Amino acid sequence: MKIKDILLERWTAKTVKDYFDSQENNKVTRKDFTVSYPIDGCILFRFNTVPDLTRAFFRMAEYYEGSLYKGSTPNNIDMADFLDNFVDRKGEVDYFQFWDGFNVTDKSFKAWTAKTEKLAQAEKLVVDVVKQHMKQKRFSIVADAGNNADTDRHELFHALYYLNKDYQTQVNQLVTEFQKDPDYKIMSKILNSKLDYKKNTDEEIAAYLTAGTQLEMVFGIRPKSWVKKFRDVFESALNNQQEARK
């Protein structure tokens, strides 16, 4: 199954219109995304279109968690090399059409920006905003395109998992229980073989279960009881974080 088959429904009339507008006005501007702070230590970039989102984040994300570039310096992850690896024989690149969410830790962001000699125009916009607003030592960057609650939940899971140790402990305990379920092996195999997750597989499994959607489409499973368990823990931790800010 190709990524576009999984994420096609994320395109709406507005995102299609915004996409063609961005084709005519090729430079990404500050008007093409919004910035918010859903929980302490987390900055959320919400782009109007998937292509603009990906232009801003693909090198940072691949440096952070892409197995293809493991051990590479940021400058070795350039567009020509990327396209050589990801474009198909028809010239299509699913990554730039349908990948609608990213998450990056502070450590990876700092390492990437310190070693990257030249930022693309869209990358520089994001880097400048992060450096201006995220002054704390520990933080998480999440980004998505459009306004999809499931994508938000998936990416905020990663932020909360990274920033909140108590929540991380609760999630890890749930994953340990889930490992006894045959669906765990199914998810692990597909994540490793088809979706390029070579590390942090258990975290990604928990993110999918927390989001609760596309489990049947991507993995062919319907673990409703587990979705409820992971979702309940997430909602409780998220509400506690937001209440503490009031």
pTM of the model: 0.82
List Cβ neighbours of 168 (8 Å cut-off, separation of 6 or more): 161, 162
Pairwise CA distance, residues 220 & 213, whole Å: 11
Q: pLDDT digit string (tens) for 125-166?
A: 999 999 999 999 999 999 999 888 889 999 999 999 999 999
Angle at 209 between CA 203 and CA 211, to 5 degrees: 100
Q: pLDDT digit string (tens) for 168-190?
A: 999 999 999 999 999 999 999 99
Domain segments of the chain as ranges: 1-163, 164-246
Q: What percent of the chain has pLDDT over 70?
A: 76
pLDDT at 77: 59
Confidence tier at 83 by pLDDT (50, 70, 90)? low
Q: List the one residue out of 73, 80, 169, 62 whose CA is nearest residue 123.
A: 62
Q: List the one residue out of 175, 188, 189, 191 whose CA is nearest residue 226.
A: 175
Pairwise CA distance, residues 82 & 93, whole Å: 10
- Length in residues, the chain: 246
Q: 190, 218 in Cβ contact below 8 A?
A: yes
